[in-house]
Structure 1
Amino acid sequence: MDLTQISDTLQRDAVWVVFLNVLLQQLGLPVPAVPTLLLAGSLAAGGGDAGRMLAAAVLASVIADWVWYLAGRGFGYRVLSGLCKLSINPGSCVSDTEARFVKWGVWSLVVAKFVPGFSTVAPPIAGSLRMPLPGFLAAAAIGAALWAGSAIGTGWVLRAEVHAAIAAMSEHGGRVVGALTLALAVWIGWKLWQKYRFERLAAIPAITPDELLDALASERPPRLVDLRGPVMIASTAPVDGAVVATLDTLSEVATDWPRQAPVVTLCACPQDATAISAAHQLTRMGFRSARPLRGGYEAWLAMTKGDAGA
């Protein structure tokens, strides 16, 4: 594994290599940027070189964030759902991402670069919420500067160690590749195990849109629980007659509900993950009939439009 050519390329075109690497990573491609930033920092001849690299990294990151912001502003919550469908474990992606953004607010854009997987999905949430563009760009630039600056600065301070590591990797390339492959395999195995656990959890009877229509027209209509979260509700509309809740607040919201009354949960996440988790939680609380709506919010929209057309 000879890294000499990579070092030579960085020495000649460091600014452009950093710019393209960061841009591709922040657009969502699986191209790690931190190793490049560390190596670039270690090769900087002085503060001027490091400053140009930092400016290139910040510019590339802000451009990518701006693209995702516009996508979120134009297409709303569908962008986040689409990104989460690419995840190995899409079941928790939407709810986890949205919870972080709601909890941290504008600061989520500052810390997003330090949270794996969050840096790509935070900007479209900001766009779907119509966050003012100047504030968004400022927060995105601050976050990018902290993230890229820490990597470039670390590379410059530890330049002797970085160069020694490069030499060791070049000499023992096969072992390094083997160790990295093993680490990647362990990580993928853990994610697949989480997915397997969720699929077992998902083995709960669901209610179809047609069954829900009939149930709502009956003498004992079910309670509807909308688990989409404030980001989704803000970018679309509330579900008529539904109680808004999260997994954390559900037990408090449903505390006084009669346990024999039917409950239907719905969300807007891949595989109806949050709705399934909520139905299990209600079942543990003693509810005799708690079922997720198959197809979630999209099924609800199709159902209500079809009902209105009839």
Structure 2
Amino acid sequence: MDISDLFSRYGLFTVALAVLLEQLGAPLPSTPVLLLAGVESAARSGFALRAFAVATLAALVANALWFWAGRRLGRRVLTTLCRISISPDSCVRQNEASFARRGVLTLVIAKFVPGLSILAPPLAGALGMGTQRFLGWNLLGSALWAGVSIAVGRVFHEQIDALLRALSRLGGVALALAAVLVVAYLGWRLWRRAVVRREMRRFERLDPAEVAALLKQGCDVVLVDVRGLPHGERIPGARHLDLGALGDGSLSGWPDQAQFITYCACPDDASAVRAAQWLKAHGRQARVLRGGIEAWALAGLALEAPAI
């Protein structure tokens, strides 16, 4: 029995389970399953509509759970997700930047962007988005993603079916090759993650009390906020640096001899370290605020609303 035969028997269950697991955070891509649903729809009348409804509902259920977690736990759930992410150095920042640029449209495109799909719902909750607004936009995004994936499978059903039958003829060889490729890719990404984390941990950091002491002494210190969404409270006087748009003009008007202290709201101060490394590469003195803005607030130090 080949893949096509199995899918013809358990197709809708497979679609529901694959989408639900992926949207809950399992590293199991469900788009190939939706493509198979499109292939199956070419032979079964009405299957496309049923698969579309099942996939959309499964995605909505999983995303609603993450949204609720974000509302209840705030950035703690984001930090947890990013700690297990293969790319924790850009996890929160890239998702915050997407909300800053696109607003609720982020929920529409999220499932088409690797890494954004799992973080968008809890981030929307943590940012205080209304429940009805979230459900509406997320439903639109889920329906668009499921519909496009199934439609692509339907359009290219002949080519996909031929590929599946060729793989079935190869039997265990195809499965072994696919497993080797997946393991090799994950191994490389995990190795890169370990290298990045080692570099980050070696970077010089200052505790909030040390930074506050420098400011009190009147030292020439510039606090640099590198969060993707610098619209909430910030450390008084902090400047914003957009890591997604670094260039020769990014430091225009900034003092040359100041001590730059970067901070973020991300696991292991990842974005703050990246910003400090970039500043050092451009001839500036740069260190990192250990623990970011959360550590600053926990130390009881002042925060302010950003200038409008």
- 2:105 aligned partner: 107
Q: Within 1, Cα distance between the matches of 2:176 and 2:10? A: 30
**TM-fit CA distance, 1:179:** 2.7
- 2:214 aligned partner: 215
Asked if structure 1 preserves the Cα contact closer than 8 Å seen for 2:234 and 2:293, the reply is no
**TM-fit CA distance, 1:98:** 1.7
User: What is the correspondence of 1:246-265 to structure 2 with a 5 Å cutoff?
Assistant: 246-247=242-243, 248=245, 254-265=251-262
Q: Within 2, Cα distance between the matches of 1:175 and 1:138? A: 45
Asked if structure 2 preserves the Cα contact closer than 8 Å seen for 1:38 and 1:152, the reply is yes
Change in CA separation of 1:139 and 1:194 when aligned onto 2, cut-off 3 Å:
same
**TM-fit CA distance, 1:30:** 2.0
Q: Within 2, Cα distance between the matches of 1:211 and 1:251? A: 30
**TM-fit CA distance, 1:142:** 2.2
Letter of the 2:214 counterpart:
A
User: How many positions carry a matched residue from both structures?
Assistant: 299
Change in CA separation of 1:196 and 1:18 when aligned onto 2, cut-off 3 Å:
closer
Q: Within 2, Cα distance between the matches of 1:250 and 1:304? A: 35
**TM-fit CA distance, 1:51:** 0.5
- 2:83 aligned partner: 85
Q: Within 2, Cα distance between the matches of 1:296 and 1:250? A: 24
Letter of the 1:218 counterpart:
Q
Matched, 1:94 2:73: no
- 1:227 aligned partner: 226
Matched, 1:269 2:266: yes
Unaligned segments of structure 1, at least 5 residues: none
Asked if structure 2 preserves the Cα contact closer than 8 Å seen for 1:229 and 1:245, the reply is no
Asked if structure 1 preserves the Cα contact closer than 8 Å seen for 2:109 and 2:141, the reply is yes
Q: Within 2, Cα distance between the matches of 1:103 and 1:305? A: 30
Is 113-122 or 15-24 further displaced after alignment?
15-24
- 2:17 aligned partner: 20
TM-score, with length taken from structure 1: 0.84
Among 295, 298, 304, the alignment partner of 2:294 is 298
TM-score, with length taken from structure 2: 0.84
Root-mean-square deviation (CA, aligned residues, Å) is 2.7
Asked if structure 2 preserves the Cα contact closer than 8 Å seen for 1:251 and 1:282, the reply is no
Letter of the 1:93 counterpart:
C
Asked if structure 2 preserves the Cα contact closer than 8 Å seen for 1:227 and 1:246, the reply is yes
**TM-fit CA distance, 1:197:** 5.2
Letter of the 2:287 counterpart:
R
Letter of the 2:225 counterpart:
D
Q: Within 2, Cα distance between the matches of 1:229 and 1:147? A: 25
Identity %: 40
Unaligned segments of structure 2, at least 5 residues: 303-308
Q: Within 1, Cα distance between the matches of 2:73 and 2:96? A: 16
Asked if structure 1 preserves the Cα contact closer than 8 Å seen for 2:59 and 2:142, the reply is yes
- 1:119 aligned partner: 117
Q: Within 1, Cα distance between the matches of 2:15 and 2:44? A: 16
Is 258-267 or 199-208 further displaced after alignment?
199-208
User: What is the correspondence of 1:114-263 to structure 2 with a 5 Å cutoff?
Assistant: 114-192=112-190, 194-195=192-193, 198-199=196-197, 201-202=199-200, 203-220=202-219, 222-230=221-229, 233-234=231-232, 237-247=233-243, 248=245, 254-263=251-260
- 1:74 aligned partner: 72
